[in-house]
């Protein structure tokens, strides 16, 4: 849907990608990119805040710095300059504060960081004036239950993945949906993906693409022992439980960033979170444009 701001984006936060493996030239390029964007925002009448870790790592000391939690409490908008992985982490952390996010991609076009760096000025100007498309994405709340108590919990914007150990054979997983037994699956693992995550690991494992507005999840086995074990689309109102029946060194990860080591009898329970992440896209954006560009559809067509 299309939306116009009721109030101006007064205070805007900038968050940049940084890795310790960056060379001096890469650090300088990242610093220059954020500095240029900050000056552009100030020229549009915005007060600019730099996320504290970004400011420290890139040497951006001339701006007001804030921790993520303070950005959530005080800022009207957050610009994430990096890739989809950076956006996933920031989206989870800012979801509770309902701060809208815009993604500026410094590398290849992303699914959710969809504004190329070289086009940021031409694209952001109209968006700051209220010309944008609102794109709300659902989150999953997952926890690991051991002996009747929760020992680990995390939010996931993309997916929850249960995997076999790196050097072990298949795992056997008991799958239940809303308390109803579905199947005992022997496979390398199992993916529960949101529509956002349907273009990630789930896609490479043979799962379907889900439009972001679809109120559902997809359950995708990884290299199942029985070929009739196929991807299954479920309502996002469902509660999914995966119990570790057998297999060594199984683990669960959440958006490939949080990790929990599992034992036999552990259950991974996944529910819909009450929180969501709000992305803003340029006016005219559609999900299908992104799919065509990212998945290289229609290449070679005149």
CA quadruple 243, 249, 252, 258: dihedral sign:
positive
* Domain contains 302: no
Q: What is the residue range of 266's domain?
A: 139-274
SS3 state at 181: strand
Alpha-carbon distance of 54 to 177, in angstroms, equals: 41
Contacts of 38 (CB under 8 A, 6+ apart): 14, 48, 50, 60, 63
* Domain contains 301: no
Query: How many domains, in total, are found in the chain?
Result: 2
Annotated active-site residue in 70, 84, 159, 249: 84
* Domain contains 161: yes
Annotated catalytic, 159? no
- The pLDDT score that the predictor gives to residue 238 is 96
- The pLDDT score that the predictor gives to residue 128 is 94
Pair 7, 31 in one domain: yes
Pair 38, 162 in one domain: no
Pair 125, 143 in one domain: no
Pair 8, 49 in one domain: yes
Alpha-carbon distance of 113 to 87, in angstroms, equals: 7
Pair 7, 80 in one domain: yes
Pair 148, 116 in one domain: no
- The pLDDT score that the predictor gives to residue 23 is 85
Query: Are the CB atoms for 245 and 264 separated by under 8 Å?
Result: yes
Pair 69, 153 in one domain: no
Alpha-carbon distance of 138 to 116, in angstroms, equals: 24
CA quadruple 85, 117, 275, 174: dihedral sign:
negative
170: domain CATH number is 2.60.200.30
Quick one: DSSP state of residue 110? P
Q: Which two tokens stand for residue 256?
A: 């490939």
Instruction: Please name which of 202, 184, 181 lies closest in space to residue 193, comparing C-alpha atoms.
Output: 202
Q: What are phi and psi of 212, to 5 degrees?
A: -55, -25
* Domain contains 215: yes
* Domain contains 300: no
29: domain CATH number is 3.40.50.10330
Query: Are the CB atoms for 140 and 270 separated by under 8 Å?
Result: yes
- Residue count of the chain, please give it: 302
Pair 202, 263 in one domain: yes
β-strands 189-193, 216-222 pairing: antiparallel
Alpha-carbon distance of 181 to 173, in angstroms, equals: 11
Query: Are the CB atoms for 95 and 276 separated by under 8 Å?
Result: yes
Pair 200, 240 in one domain: yes
Q: For residue 79, give Cα distances in angstroms to 60, 154, 299.
A: 16, 24, 31
Q: What tens-digit pLDDT sequence spans the chain (302 residues)?
A: 444 443 479 999 999 987 766 788 888 999 999 999 999 999 999 999 999 999 999 999 999 999 999 999 999 999 999 989 899 999 999 999 999 999 999 877 678 888 999 999 999 999 999 999 999 999 999 999 999 999 999 999 999 999 998 777 899 999 999 999 999 999 999 999 999 999 999 999 999 999 999 999 999 999 999 888 999 999 999 999 999 999 888 999 999 888 889 999 999 999 999 999 999 999 999 999 889 988 889 876 55
> What is the maximum span of the chain, computed from C-alpha positions, in angstroms?
60
Pair 170, 216 in one domain: yes
* Domain contains 206: yes
Pair 231, 122 in one domain: no
Pair 18, 36 in one domain: yes
* Domain contains 260: yes
- The pLDDT score that the predictor gives to residue 21 is 66
CA quadruple 186, 191, 192, 193: dihedral sign:
negative
């Amino acid at each position: 849907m299309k939306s116009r701001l009721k109030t101006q984006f007064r205070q805007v936060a900038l968050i940049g990608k940084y890795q310790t493996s960056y060379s001096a030239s890469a650090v300088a390029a990242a610093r220059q990119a954020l500095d240029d964007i900050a000056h552009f925002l100030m020229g549009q009448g915005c007060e600019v805040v730099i996320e504290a870790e970004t400011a420290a790592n890139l040497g951006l000391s001339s701006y007001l710095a804030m921790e993520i939690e303070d950005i959530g409490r005080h800022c009207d908008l957050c610009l994430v300059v990096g890739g989809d992985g950076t956006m996933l982490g920031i989206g989870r952390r800012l979801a509770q504060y309902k701060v809208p996010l815009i993604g500026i991609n410094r590398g290849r076009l992303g699914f959710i960081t969809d504004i190329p760096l070289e086009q940021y000025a031409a694209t952001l100007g109209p968006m700051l004036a209220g010309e944008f498309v609102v794109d709300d994405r659902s989150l999953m709340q997952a926890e690991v239950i051991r002996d009747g108590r929760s020992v680990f919990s995390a939010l996931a914007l993309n997916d929850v993945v249960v995997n076999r150990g790196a050097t072990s054979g298949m795992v056997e997983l008991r799958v239940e949906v809303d308390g109803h037994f579905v199947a005992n699956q022997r496979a390398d693992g199992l993916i529960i993906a949101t529509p956002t995550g349907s273009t990630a690991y789930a896609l490479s494992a043979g799962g379907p693409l889900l439009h972001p507005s679809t109120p559902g999840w997809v359950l995708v086995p990884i290299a199942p022992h029985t070929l009739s074990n196929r991807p299954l689309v479920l309502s996002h109102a469902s509660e999914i439980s995966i119990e570790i029946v057998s297999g060594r060194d199984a683990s669960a990860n959440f958006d490939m960033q949080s990790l929990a080591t599992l034992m036999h009898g552990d259950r991974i329970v996944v529910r819909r979170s009450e929180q969501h992440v709000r992305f803003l896209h340029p006016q005219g954006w559609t999900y299908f444009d992104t799919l065509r560009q990212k998945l290289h559809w229609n290449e070679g067509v005149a």
